[in-house]
Protein backbone atom coordinates (compact mmCIF):
# COMPACT_ATOMS: atom_id res chain seq x y z
CA UNK A 1 0.00 0.00 0.00
CA UNK A 2 1.21 3.54 -0.68
CA UNK A 3 0.76 6.53 1.64
CA UNK A 4 -2.77 7.28 0.46
CA UNK A 5 -3.81 3.71 1.35
CA UNK A 6 -4.14 2.78 -2.34
CA UNK A 7 -2.20 -0.02 -4.10
CA UNK A 8 1.14 1.20 -5.60
CA UNK A 9 -0.11 1.01 -9.20
CA UNK A 10 -3.42 2.70 -8.54
CA UNK A 11 -2.69 5.94 -10.40
CA UNK A 12 -2.55 3.80 -13.55
CA UNK A 13 -5.82 2.01 -12.82
CA UNK A 14 -8.58 2.35 -15.42
CA UNK A 15 -11.14 5.10 -15.05
CA UNK A 16 -13.85 3.02 -16.74
CA UNK A 17 -14.19 -0.76 -16.41
CA UNK A 18 -16.85 -2.70 -18.32
CA UNK A 19 -17.68 -6.30 -17.48
CA UNK A 20 -19.28 -9.19 -19.35
CA UNK A 21 -20.40 -11.18 -16.30
CA UNK A 22 -20.33 -14.61 -17.92
CA UNK A 23 -20.39 -18.14 -16.51
CA UNK A 24 -23.29 -17.98 -14.03
CA UNK A 25 -25.03 -20.95 -15.69
CA UNK A 26 -21.91 -23.14 -15.67
CA UNK A 27 -21.14 -22.13 -12.07
CA UNK A 28 -24.62 -23.37 -11.08
CA UNK A 29 -24.44 -26.53 -13.22
CA UNK A 30 -21.15 -27.51 -11.62
CA UNK A 31 -22.93 -27.46 -8.26
CA UNK A 32 -26.06 -29.25 -9.48
CA UNK A 33 -28.10 -26.06 -9.02
CA UNK A 34 -30.64 -24.35 -11.32
CA UNK A 35 -29.26 -21.61 -13.60
CA UNK A 36 -31.05 -18.92 -11.62
CA UNK A 37 -28.99 -19.86 -8.55
CA UNK A 38 -25.96 -18.92 -10.66
CA UNK A 39 -27.46 -15.53 -11.50
CA UNK A 40 -28.22 -14.95 -7.80
CA UNK A 41 -24.63 -15.83 -6.86
CA UNK A 42 -23.53 -13.48 -9.67
CA UNK A 43 -25.62 -10.72 -8.13
CA UNK A 44 -23.92 -11.22 -4.75
CA UNK A 45 -20.57 -10.98 -6.47
CA UNK A 46 -21.60 -7.76 -8.20
CA UNK A 47 -22.05 -6.17 -4.78
CA UNK A 48 -18.39 -7.02 -3.99
CA UNK A 49 -17.13 -5.62 -7.28
CA UNK A 50 -19.05 -2.36 -6.84
CA UNK A 51 -17.39 -1.98 -3.42
CA UNK A 52 -14.00 -2.77 -4.95
CA UNK A 53 -14.52 -0.08 -7.61
CA UNK A 54 -15.18 2.48 -4.86
CA UNK A 55 -12.12 1.20 -2.95
CA UNK A 56 -9.79 1.35 -5.97
CA UNK A 57 -11.04 4.66 -7.35
CA UNK A 58 -12.60 3.27 -10.53
CA UNK A 59 -15.02 6.02 -11.61
CA UNK A 60 -17.26 4.19 -14.12
CA UNK A 61 -18.42 0.57 -14.03
CA UNK A 62 -20.53 -0.79 -16.88
CA UNK A 63 -22.13 -4.20 -16.41
CA UNK A 64 -23.78 -6.38 -19.07
CA UNK A 65 -26.79 -7.74 -17.16
CA UNK A 66 -29.29 -8.62 -19.94
CA UNK A 67 -28.66 -8.49 -23.67
CA UNK A 68 -31.20 -8.03 -26.46
CA UNK A 69 -30.38 -11.66 -27.37
CA UNK A 70 -31.16 -12.95 -23.85
CA UNK A 71 -34.92 -12.81 -24.65
CA UNK A 72 -34.27 -16.10 -26.49
CA UNK A 73 -33.57 -17.93 -23.19
CA UNK A 74 -36.28 -20.06 -21.51
CA UNK A 75 -39.13 -17.96 -20.08
CA UNK A 76 -38.30 -19.09 -16.54
CA UNK A 77 -34.77 -17.69 -16.82
CA UNK A 78 -35.90 -14.42 -18.48
CA UNK A 79 -38.56 -13.89 -15.79
CA UNK A 80 -35.97 -14.72 -13.14
CA UNK A 81 -33.50 -12.13 -14.46
CA UNK A 82 -36.27 -9.49 -14.50
CA UNK A 83 -37.11 -10.36 -10.89
CA UNK A 84 -33.43 -10.18 -9.93
CA UNK A 85 -33.23 -6.65 -11.36
CA UNK A 86 -36.30 -5.56 -9.38
CA UNK A 87 -35.06 -7.25 -6.18
CA UNK A 88 -31.55 -5.79 -6.51
CA UNK A 89 -32.96 -2.28 -6.84
CA UNK A 90 -35.34 -2.78 -3.92
CA UNK A 91 -32.73 -4.33 -1.64
CA UNK A 92 -29.61 -2.40 -2.56
CA UNK A 93 -30.74 1.11 -3.50
CA UNK A 94 -30.24 2.68 -0.08
CA UNK A 95 -26.74 1.20 0.31
CA UNK A 96 -25.79 2.24 -3.22
CA UNK A 97 -26.96 5.76 -2.39
CA UNK A 98 -24.83 5.77 0.75
CA UNK A 99 -21.80 4.63 -1.24
CA UNK A 100 -22.28 7.56 -3.65
CA UNK A 101 -23.16 5.35 -6.62
CA UNK A 102 -25.03 6.94 -9.53
CA UNK A 103 -27.12 4.42 -11.47
CA UNK A 104 -27.61 4.87 -15.21
CA UNK A 105 -29.46 2.54 -17.54
CA UNK A 106 -28.18 1.48 -20.97
CA UNK A 107 -30.65 -0.07 -23.40
CA UNK A 108 -34.33 -0.01 -24.24
CA UNK A 109 -36.72 0.17 -21.28
CA UNK A 110 -39.92 0.03 -23.37
CA UNK A 111 -39.95 -3.77 -23.69
CA UNK A 112 -39.73 -4.29 -19.93
CA UNK A 113 -42.74 -4.66 -17.62
CA UNK A 114 -44.11 -1.39 -16.24
CA UNK A 115 -43.05 -2.26 -12.68
CA UNK A 116 -39.44 -2.89 -13.79
CA UNK A 117 -39.37 0.34 -15.80
CA UNK A 118 -40.62 2.35 -12.83
CA UNK A 119 -38.03 0.84 -10.47
CA UNK A 120 -35.17 1.52 -12.89
CA UNK A 121 -36.31 5.11 -13.51
CA UNK A 122 -36.71 5.68 -9.78
CA UNK A 123 -33.19 4.34 -9.08
CA UNK A 124 -31.77 6.59 -11.82
CA UNK A 125 -33.63 9.63 -10.44
CA UNK A 126 -32.74 8.98 -6.79
CA UNK A 127 -29.01 8.61 -7.48
CA UNK A 128 -28.52 11.28 -10.15
CA UNK A 129 -26.55 13.62 -7.88
CA UNK A 130 -24.05 10.92 -6.82
CA UNK A 131 -20.57 10.94 -8.31
CA UNK A 132 -18.28 8.48 -6.46
CA UNK A 133 -19.02 5.72 -9.00
CA UNK A 134 -21.17 5.83 -12.14
CA UNK A 135 -22.78 2.39 -12.52
CA UNK A 136 -24.06 1.84 -16.06
CA UNK A 137 -26.47 -1.10 -16.03
CA UNK A 138 -26.83 -2.55 -19.54
CA UNK A 139 -30.21 -4.27 -19.34
CA UNK A 140 -32.06 -5.10 -22.56
CA UNK A 141 -28.98 -3.71 -24.26
CA UNK A 142 -27.39 -4.59 -27.60
CA UNK A 143 -24.57 -2.71 -29.32
CA UNK A 144 -26.16 -2.89 -32.77
CA UNK A 145 -29.54 -1.71 -31.42
CA UNK A 146 -27.74 1.13 -29.67
CA UNK A 147 -26.19 2.34 -32.95
CA UNK A 148 -29.52 2.10 -34.82
CA UNK A 149 -31.22 3.97 -31.96
CA UNK A 150 -28.54 6.69 -32.18
CA UNK A 151 -28.86 7.05 -35.97
CA UNK A 152 -32.66 7.30 -35.75
CA UNK A 153 -32.36 9.93 -33.04
CA UNK A 154 -29.89 11.93 -35.15
CA UNK A 155 -32.26 11.82 -38.12
CA UNK A 156 -35.11 12.92 -35.82
CA UNK A 157 -32.94 15.86 -34.71
CA UNK A 158 -32.24 16.77 -38.39
CA UNK A 159 -28.48 16.33 -37.94
CA UNK A 160 -26.76 16.96 -41.28
CA UNK A 161 -24.20 14.52 -42.73
CA UNK A 162 -21.38 17.07 -42.27
CA UNK A 163 -22.15 17.38 -38.56
CA UNK A 164 -21.65 13.63 -37.88
CA UNK A 165 -18.36 13.09 -36.06
CA UNK A 166 -17.01 10.47 -33.65
CA UNK A 167 -17.81 12.84 -30.77
CA UNK A 168 -21.39 13.46 -31.92
CA UNK A 169 -21.99 9.73 -32.36
CA UNK A 170 -20.79 9.14 -28.79
CA UNK A 171 -23.24 11.77 -27.55
CA UNK A 172 -26.15 9.91 -29.17
CA UNK A 173 -25.29 6.51 -27.69
CA UNK A 174 -26.83 5.19 -24.46
CA UNK A 175 -23.40 5.73 -22.86
CA UNK A 176 -23.45 9.51 -23.48
CA UNK A 177 -21.60 11.17 -20.61
CA UNK A 178 -19.37 8.16 -19.88
CA UNK A 179 -15.88 7.93 -21.41
CA UNK A 180 -15.11 4.84 -23.53
CA UNK A 181 -14.20 1.85 -21.36
CA UNK A 182 -10.47 1.59 -20.67
CA UNK A 183 -10.72 -2.04 -19.67
CA UNK A 184 -13.27 -4.72 -20.59
CA UNK A 185 -13.30 -7.84 -18.43
CA UNK A 186 -14.93 -11.05 -19.61
CA UNK A 187 -15.24 -13.92 -17.18
CA UNK A 188 -15.54 -17.66 -17.99
CA UNK A 189 -13.02 -17.71 -20.81
CA UNK A 190 -15.17 -16.94 -23.87
CA UNK A 191 -13.40 -14.85 -26.53
CA UNK A 192 -16.29 -12.85 -27.97
CA UNK A 193 -17.58 -9.27 -27.81
CA UNK A 194 -21.23 -10.50 -27.77
CA UNK A 195 -22.73 -7.25 -29.06
CA UNK A 196 -21.39 -5.30 -26.04
CA UNK A 197 -20.26 -1.66 -26.46
CA UNK A 198 -19.21 -2.33 -30.04
CA UNK A 199 -18.64 1.36 -30.80
CA UNK A 200 -17.11 2.26 -27.43
CA UNK A 201 -14.72 -0.74 -27.32
CA UNK A 202 -12.65 0.46 -30.30
CA UNK A 203 -9.49 0.87 -28.20
CA UNK A 204 -10.41 -0.82 -24.93
CA UNK A 205 -7.97 -3.22 -23.34
CA UNK A 206 -9.33 -6.73 -22.75
CA UNK A 207 -8.87 -9.02 -19.77
CA UNK A 208 -10.32 -12.52 -20.08
CA UNK A 209 -10.26 -15.02 -17.25
CA UNK A 210 -11.45 -18.63 -17.01
CA UNK A 211 -13.05 -17.83 -13.63
CA UNK A 212 -16.85 -17.90 -13.63
CA UNK A 213 -18.45 -14.58 -12.69
CA UNK A 214 -19.77 -15.62 -9.23
CA UNK A 215 -16.17 -16.48 -8.22
CA UNK A 216 -14.57 -13.35 -9.69
CA UNK A 217 -14.05 -11.51 -6.40
CA UNK A 218 -12.07 -8.51 -5.18
CA UNK A 219 -8.65 -10.17 -5.48
CA UNK A 220 -9.17 -11.26 -9.08
CA UNK A 221 -10.60 -7.85 -9.90
CA UNK A 222 -7.50 -6.22 -8.44
CA UNK A 223 -5.34 -8.60 -10.50
CA UNK A 224 -7.12 -7.39 -13.64
CA UNK A 225 -6.56 -3.74 -12.65
CA UNK A 226 -2.88 -4.43 -11.90
CA UNK A 227 -2.43 -6.14 -15.26
CA UNK A 228 -4.12 -3.18 -16.98
CA UNK A 229 -1.73 -0.81 -15.16
CA UNK A 230 1.19 -2.59 -16.92
CA UNK A 231 -0.28 -2.29 -20.40
CA UNK A 232 1.12 0.10 -22.99
CA UNK A 233 -1.88 1.75 -24.68
CA UNK A 234 -0.96 3.18 -28.06
CA UNK A 235 -4.38 3.80 -29.69
CA UNK A 236 -3.01 2.72 -33.08
CA UNK A 237 0.10 4.91 -32.77
CA UNK A 238 3.68 4.01 -31.81
CA UNK A 239 5.60 5.00 -28.70
CA UNK A 240 7.82 8.04 -29.21
CA UNK A 241 10.77 5.96 -27.89
CA UNK A 242 10.57 3.85 -31.06
CA UNK A 243 11.72 6.95 -33.01
CA UNK A 244 14.22 8.34 -30.51
CA UNK A 245 15.65 5.05 -29.33
CA UNK A 246 14.98 6.21 -25.76
CA UNK A 247 13.39 3.50 -23.71
CA UNK A 248 11.38 5.14 -20.96
Nearer to ligand FPP, 120 or 225 (CB): 120
DSSP string, 63-87: EEEEETTGGGS-HHHHHHHHHHHHH
Angstrom CA distances, 126 to 53, 103, 109, 129, 133, stand at: 20, 9, 17, 8, 14
Nearer to ligand FPP, 26 or 231 (CB): 26
Nearer to ligand FPP, 89 or 225 (CB): 89
**Of residues 147, 42, 43, 61, the one with CA closest to residue 102:** 61
Nearer to ligand FPP, 37 or 154 (CB): 37
- Tell me if 23 sits within 8 A of 31, measured CB to CB: no
Shortest distance in whole angstroms from residue 56 CB to ligand FPP: 20
Residues in contact with ligand FPP by CB under 6 A are 21-26, 39, 42-43, 46, 65, 70, 84-85, 88, 137, 139, 188, 213
DSSP 180: P
Shortest distance in whole angstroms from residue 203 CB to ligand FPP: 25
Nearer to ligand FPP, 16 or 186 (CB): 186
B/e letters for 113-135, b = 16+ CB within 10 Å, e = fewer, are: eeebeebbeebeebbeebeebbb
Q: Across the strands, what pairs with 101?
A: 133
Euclidean distance between CA atoms 107 and 105, whole angstroms:
7
Shortest distance in whole angstroms from residue 242 CB to ligand FPP: 40
DSSP 210: S
Active-site positions read 22, 70
Shortest distance in whole angstroms from residue 43 CB to ligand FPP: 4
Shortest distance in whole angstroms from residue 238 CB to ligand FPP: 37
Task: Give me the residue whose beta carbon is nearest to ligand FPP.
Answer: 25
Amino acid sequence: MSENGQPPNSEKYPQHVAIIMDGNGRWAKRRGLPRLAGHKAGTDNLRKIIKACVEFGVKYLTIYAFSTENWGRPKEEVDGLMRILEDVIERELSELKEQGVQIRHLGCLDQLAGSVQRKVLNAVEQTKENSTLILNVAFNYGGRDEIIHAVKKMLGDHITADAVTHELMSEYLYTAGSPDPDLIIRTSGELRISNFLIWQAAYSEWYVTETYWPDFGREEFKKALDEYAQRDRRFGKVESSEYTGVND
